[in-house]
Amino acid sequence: MATEAPQGPLRLQSERFLTHLRATRNYSPHTLRAYGKDLEAFVVKYPGLEPSGIERVHVRAFLADLQKEGGLARATILRRMAALRSFVKFLRSTGQLKGNPIFGVPLPKRGRPLPKFLTESEMAELMTMPASSNARHQLRDRAVIELIYSSGLRRAEVVSLNCGDIDYMTGTVRVFGKGSKERVVPVGDGALKCLRAYLEGRKKDDAEPVFVGPSGKRLSDAGLVFLLARWVKASALRKMFTPHVLRHSFAPHLMNHGCDIRMVQEMLGHVSLQTTQIYTHVSLDRMKEVYKDSHPRSSK
């Protein structure tokens, strides 16, 4: 039988920190769970440590533990340290910690791995086969996949969509991204057609969720991941991937066909253009093709 983790001073304050984030930052449940998980290792390492007693030696020892753990990616280490930095900032703002124990602690340099994405031919292949013998599931699953690829939506943005967020007249969808920031994104004709087919005969009050599970309630994050995995397994593709790969595919495919990077930034809901610029690397092959066909001296 599992025992509950001890409620030490750091754990109590970490729970208050998460409550603070929920109340002031509008973070999604998924983001809050990630923060909690990332802080857990520090809380467990120092169960009896008072917040006022956190010193640089504790942070250095924690970082050393993370770097010793086998299999931890550099991005994971940096994410956990970022969560700890935010926690320390909270403790200082509430007067529980005077110094800054993270200041001066050297962190590993952040890498910029290229995002995983599907080629245009792989995306076409993905949509050629029905993934379920259940016609209703097939319509829903196809609509989900078409919408993510058509508009570059995040998983949480898809499951939170309501019927009133879709505007068939203008061919757009209203989504609420990170921090509940609202944006309006174009939707392709193919995705709109799939949405109409799926929602035909359904109650379409504005507040009704677009995508629902077998119980008739809003589709969950886990449900979306499951339906995509089922669809991919039934297709001819021999690879598994997450819904975010469809979002990653949206960006370079637009750029390959001449879409301006700032427009892609707006559609993806990126605050910084630097975040979007990583997709320019995966469009390099297409750039070379355009150069070869367009530059007068490319073949000299």
For residue 269, is it within any domain? yes
- Amino acid identity of 56? R
Domain span including residue 71:
9-93
Once rounded to an integer, what is the mean pLDDT over residues 260-287?
78
Domain stop point among 93, 128, 148: 93
For 24-68, give the DSSP string: HT---HHHHHHHHHHHHHHHHHSTT--GGG--HHHHHHHHHHHHH
Residue 300 to residues 78, 270, 284, 296, 297, Cα–Cα distance (Å): 47, 40, 21, 8, 5
Same-domain pairing of 185 and 272: yes
Residue 3 confidence (pLDDT): 43
Q: How far apart are CA 228 and CA 221, in angstroms?
A: 11
Q: Which helix (H) or strand (E) holds 265?
A: helix 261-268
One domain for residues 126 and 219: yes
In a domain, 107, yes or no: no
Is 141 in the same domain as 85?
no
Q: Tell which of 93, 128, 160 closes a domain.
A: 93
Q: Cα separation of 148 and 145, whole Å?
A: 5
* In a domain? residue 89: yes
Query: What's the pLDDT at 183?
Result: 93
Distance in angstroms (rounded) separating the CA atoms of residues 77 and 229: 28
- The predicted pLDDT at position 222 comes to 93
Whole-number Å distance between alpha carbons of 16 and 19: 5
Nearest to 212 by CA among 179, 231, 204, 233: 204
Residue 196 and residue 103: Cα distance in Å, rounded?
54
Q: Are residues 76 and 225 in the same domain?
A: no
26 in a domain, yes or no? Answer: yes
Residue 250 lies in a domain: yes
Q: Does 51 score more than 80 pLDDT?
A: yes
For 4-24, what is the mean pLDDT?
83
Least Cα distance to 276 among 299, 294, 254, 298 occurs for 254
190 in the same domain as 259: yes
Judgement on whether residues 64 and 198 belong to the same structural domain of the protein: no
Residue 297 forms part of a structural domain: no
Handedness of CA 262, 284, 239, 72 (dihedral sign): negative
- At 237 the pLDDT is 83
Same domain? 44 vs 177: no
pLDDT digits (tens, 9 = 90+) for 90-122: 999 999 999 999 988 888 776 666 678 888 888
> What pLDDT score was predicted for residue 78?
87
Active site residues: 154, 178, 244, 247, 270, 279
Query: Is this structure's pTM higher than 0.75?
Result: no
* CATH code for the domain of 201: 1.10.443.10
For residues 215 and 256, membership in a common domain is answered with yes
In a domain, 252, yes or no: yes
- 175 and 67 inside one domain: no
Q: What is the mean pLDDT of residues 118-127?
A: 87
Q: Are 207 and 145 in contact (CB under 8 A)?
A: no
Q: Are residues 64 and 213 in the same domain?
A: no
Name the domain count of the chain. Answer: 2
Domain contains 31: yes
User: Is 88 found in the same domain as 164?
Assistant: no
Among 94, 106, 83, 98, smallest CA distance to 36 is for 83
How confident is the model over 25-47, as a mean pLDDT?
88
Are residue 40 and residue 189 in the same domain, yes or no? no
Question: In the chain, what percentage of residues exceed pLDDT 90?
Answer: 46
Q: Write down which residue in 39, 74, 93 finishes a domain.
A: 93
Q: Is 130 exposed, middle or buried (0-12, 13-18, 19+ CB in 10 A)?
A: middle
Average pLDDT, the chain: 85
